[in-house]
Amino acid sequence: MAPHIRIDVTSERHQYPVLIGPGLSTRLPELLETHQLDGTPLVVSCAPVWRLHGARVRALVGRGRKPALMADGERAKQLRTVSTLYEACLRNGLDRAGLVVAFGGGVVGDAAGFAAATFLRGVRLVQVPTTLLSQVDSAIGGKVGVNLPGGKNLVGAFHPPAMVVCDPDVLTTLPRREFRAGLYEVVKYGVLGSRPLFDAIGAQLDAILACDAAVLTPLIADCCRIKAHVVTIDEREQGPRRALNFGHTVGHALESLTHYRRFRHGEAIGHGMLAAAHLSVQRGTMSEADASLMDDLIRKLGRLPLVTDLSAKAALKVIAHDKKVVRGRLHYVLAKGLGDTEIAKDVTPDELVDAMRAIGMRR
């Protein structure tokens, strides 16, 4: 077996490996056997991913069975999709010794993961993320779920995977916009947990955008290490894990206001980080110099979709229903320079409106 990077994540239920390395997706049968993940697998994917990369995992499907192909895109992340996945589980004869293999981006991972968490009260899950965003973020940590019309990720569960397999080779076919969307989440990890990672993004940007596996592999691993550390000490988001929501309060509101049509998730988070940096500077937790460096790096990744037609006050109404509101108080993540964050529980509506106005939203 060729060398790869392994990071172990400890959850309440078990410890699971995150494996990172070029070509790993083609070796899934071997990896499942090595990690004693036997049982009937149901592969869940979407048509674009299956068309491009299905051959990599076809050996898992077996004779007489087909992958469960769900719709693509954030609008597919709904309870109706999960219901179709339950039917696929039944058709493929999954029992409690079965295995759901989520082969796709964050939407596939979240919906398939929620189906795995709830079918027969829980079957094992293997995440094989195929986008940069899902490799560095959503596939790790066990948060699975779907959206409601009133907000994002309002229905879900904590269902840690049995294994995560990240293969940088599958990223070469990502549309440029999708790849860049994932890079905003990489920037997030630099801001909240590692100044060296933040600096490396800017220094290696050309190689990153060229999908150089020699550069991407350690970059993905750095993000996974940060998330693994946070998840290990706070799996259920009662404290330190809230730092992973840096940029997400405003970002999720933007997605909801535009019915998940205008923004890729990472693009919305890019705007959200800019708003969070503005608020952090206003509160004195972040210097203007560090905020400027973050702004410059985000701008280098490409042009973000416009927000000038969106209302900050309308976004406030969405934020009021955000899952980060606890006992009526919003837990908002502020940056403490580059490499650290803190949680504020006293951010006012006026401060939020000011931060959203700073990124170009109308009042």
Residue tagged 């070029």 (tokens): 22
Tracing tokens 């004693």 back to the chain, one arrives at 36
Pick the catalytic residue from 53, 124, 143, 278.
143
Alpha helices, DSSP H only, in the chain?
A: 28-34, 47-57, 79-91, 106-118, 132-133, 176-193, 195-203, 205-209, 213-233, 248-257, 265-283, 288-300, 312-319, 349-358
In the annotation, is 241 catalytic?
A: yes
- Three-point CA angle 294, 264, 134, nearest 5°: 85
Which tokens hold the place of 332? 């908002």
Residue 227 designated active-site:
yes
205 in Cβ contact with 300 (< 8 Å): yes
| Residue 13 falls in the annotated catalytic set | no
Q: Is 262 tagged catalytic?
A: no
Contact yes or no for 291/277 (Cβ under 8 A): yes
DSSP state of 311: B
Q: Which of 152, 241, 271, 331 is catalytic?
A: 241
Phi-psi region of 244 (alpha: psi -120 to 50; beta: other; left: phi over 0): alpha
Structure-token match 């294994």, residue found: 163
Taking the C-alpha atoms of residue 311 and residue 360, their distance in angstroms, rounded to an integer, is 10
What residues pair up with 124 in beta bridges, in sequence order?
99
What's 174's DSSP letter? Answer: S
* Catalytic site residue from 124, 245, 271, 278: 245
The Cα–Cα gap between 246 and 97 comes to 37
- If DSSP codes are grouped into helix, strand and coil, which group holds residue 341? strand
Residue 121 a catalytic site member:
yes
Query: Does the annotation mark 185 as catalytic?
Result: yes
Catalytic residue among 237, 242, 267, 278: 237
Phi, psi of 302 (to 5 degrees): 135, 170
Contact of 296 with 187, CB cutoff 8 Å: no
362 is catalytic: no
Tell me which of 227, 264, 278, 331 is the catalytic residue: 227
237 labelled catalytic: yes
Task: Please state, in angstroms and rounded to a whole number, the distance separating the CA atoms of residues 90 and 344.
Answer: 45
The Cα 254–Cα 270 span in angstroms is: 11
How far apart are alpha carbons 8 and 254 in whole angstroms?
A: 34
92 is an active site residue: no
Q: Which residues are catalytic?
A: 121, 143, 185, 227, 237, 241, 245, 248, 252, 265
